[in-house]
Structure 1
């Protein structure tokens, strides 16, 4: 234990050879020999220096520092990765939201313009399924979306849906449409069971976006929900926010009978990512 408490200078300082050479008495020479013997015995029992000890400690400290640095920088790295992987719409793609209501009579505007029979329009509505699943006489009470291809190449549109609060509309299963340059794609009601309506779940208006999140019980007070249109264009998933709330009629249902059965048709309004 005493040897472990000594410093390196105690173990490895030079032996007292010069003192021994100057010694003249027999007793002094004996004491000198004993001193030399103690020196070598202490040197032999000393802990051997570890040539890699400092490197090992350096590796441990460096590793711990690296782990701490990585943990501290993880949130920043995640945000940076999200920023670099976030997709942007193709230049020239324009998206619009509108509403068509042929159920409630209204003078003037019957549907957003352009509509189905325009030569520039590719229409996916009550003609989506064969035979049609829409109500009789192709009656519409639905939101509508329009994608204009003003780019320089054909545009592939897939996986379209609309989310309002907890309700998600998917009226276009297996959507796979190539929109030529200069053409417009309109998506609206295709007929079928509504996903989450509260007013009349037995109707076939499967894109009646004005009846979501209990909005059918609201005549004057908005629910403040902002619809989100999710669509994949050329393999890139995009999300557009209908901040003007055209699809859900500002969070109210003016067409509901208790609200006066007002017409809900609305012109096209541009929406952005």
Structure 2
């Protein structure tokens, strides 16, 4: 994140600084009005920032302090009073560019003089009023004030004017990049709030979210989190994607997104990201616990938070296929231990605190409980007569038993723990094809 702020001495000093820096006003237009996002990957957005009558979804976001943002405007943003237009140039090309100059024309009134900016791929520069507060009428060419909703024809004071259908003045924006100037027409009149001074006329907030120049005003914004639901085995990963757009569904890049697991086994977990050119940021996390998490995201600007919808991520454990489960003895239950969960020598290889298991138990139980849990019991038949599965997953839940007995043709055991085992290759349903693996987590 880069933020560059022009100092705010008296106006004469500022104009002197402009001369010293060699800042160029845009005098050589190379082309007439063109589409907002040219084929060279440069996007030009316009907005209006009103902090007098706050409405957080409408306030331009990104702003000062946002990721990948160079900000030429009044600071500190938390104390400045904003009542002005703003222009944003986004570099979505594959190489660095230099924004040499930006000039804005409202009829005969021109604003220019912001410093140049070097934009690496994915970065953006925002220019707006340099001083705090509003100004009635044309105050250009200095961009100290940029209150374009109060500028009428000929630069006259337009404050409090509410003509039906607006004043019809379409601002133009000259953007010079790497020495080439392109002129964009704000046909939607975003910069001058549709030619109406909405504050006093409608007693409403004048803010307009970043809008591609040439589009109608897209006043609000929306943060959407997806997918609505997903399910994964524990120790794998879940990813959610937040998409931040204006109310016209135009993506907004360079916005900071906060992710939170608000409820569930991983409640309190947080993450963050910045939206890309598609307006998207992702959050990926893993769980060692079963259950369902509720996740949400938010984008915060100077005047509040823009929340997303809630989504869920469920974390499951998988026992052996076919409704049964493999078992290890409780004295083998050591985190990271290499364990023997199936084979002809199970009774020798899996010691328990209560002693040895019946020799006819080979390590697989198949009872009526498809979802065994700690504190329960299980029953099965001897040998491989429960018909073990032909294959096992790479990550498998395994029962830990401390006591196993045999009565007639029924073998029974307790469940003191359930662990997660990363299985080794080589297993087969015949007890001669032994099953080994490593304990990687305890489920209960």
- TM-score, length of structure 2 as denominator length: 0.36
Q: Give 2:88's aligned residue.
A: 146
SS at match of 1:139: coil
Q: Give 2:63's aligned residue.
A: 115
SS at match of 1:247: coil
TM-superposed deviation, 1:205:
5.9
Cα pair 2:136 2:158 within 8 Å, conserved: no
Distance 1:232 1:246 in 2: 21
Residue 207, structure 1, aligned to residue 146, structure 2: yes
Runs of at least 5 residues in structure 1 that lack an aligned partner in the other structure: 1-84
TM-superposed deviation, 1:124:
1.0
Cα pair 1:171 1:206 within 8 Å, conserved: no
Cα pair 1:216 1:253 within 8 Å, conserved: yes
Q: Which of structures 1 and 2 has the bigger CA Rg? A: 1
Q: Which is helix-richer, 1 or 2?
A: 1
Partner deviation per Cα, 1:131-152 (whole Å, 9 max, x = no partner): x8x9x92111110111110111
SS at match of 2:79: helix
| Equivalent in 95, 108, 113 of residue 166 of structure 1 | 108
Residue 233, structure 1, aligned to residue 177, structure 2: yes
Distance 1:197 1:206 in 2: 9
SS at match of 2:148: coil
Q: Give 1:137's aligned residue.
A: 79
Residue 92, structure 1, aligned to residue 92, structure 2: no
- Between Structure 1 and Structure 2, how many residues are aligned? 175
Residue 126, structure 1, aligned to residue 36, structure 2: no
SS at match of 2:150: coil
Check 1:192–1:264 CA distance in 2 against 1; reply closer, same or farther (3 A cut): closer
Check 1:184–1:228 CA distance in 2 against 1; reply closer, same or farther (3 A cut): same
Residue 102, structure 1, aligned to residue 51, structure 2: yes
Q: Give 1:51's aligned residue.
A: none
Residue 190, structure 1, aligned to residue 130, structure 2: yes
User: Structure 2 matches for 1:18-33, cutoff 5 A?
Assistant: none
SS at match of 2:70: strand
| Higher relative contact order, chain-length normalized (CA < 8 Å, sep 6+) | 1
Q: Which is strand-richer, 1 or 2?
A: 2
Residue 219, structure 1, aligned to residue 153, structure 2: no
Q: Give 2:367's aligned residue.
A: none
User: Structure 2 matches for 1:34-113, cutoff 5 A?
Assistant: 86=31, 91-103=40-52, 105-109=53-57, 111-113=59-61
Cα pair 2:31 2:182 within 8 Å, conserved: no
Check 1:198–1:184 CA distance in 2 against 1; reply closer, same or farther (3 A cut): closer
TM-superposed deviation, 1:90:
6.0
Distance 1:207 1:199 in 2: 8
SS at match of 1:255: helix
Partner deviation per Cα, 1:152-191 (whole Å, 9 max, x = no partner): 111101221110111111252xx22101111111111112
Distance 2:97 2:39 in 1: 9
Check 1:199–1:122 CA distance in 2 against 1; reply closer, same or farther (3 A cut): closer
Partner deviation per Cα, 1:11-33 (whole Å, 9 max, x = no partner): xxxxxxxxxxxxxxxxxxxxxxx
Range 146-155 or range 213-222, more displaced: 213-222
Check 1:107–1:151 CA distance in 2 against 1; reply closer, same or farther (3 A cut): closer
TM-superposed deviation, 1:220:
4.0
Check 1:253–1:178 CA distance in 2 against 1; reply closer, same or farther (3 A cut): same
TM-superposed deviation, 1:200:
10
Distance 1:170 1:193 in 2: 18
- TM-score, length of structure 1 as denominator length: 0.56
Q: Give 2:356's aligned residue.
A: none
SS at match of 1:178: strand
Cα pair 1:210 1:251 within 8 Å, conserved: yes
| Equivalent in 184, 187, 191 of residue 243 of structure 1 | 187
Distance 1:148 1:243 in 2: 19
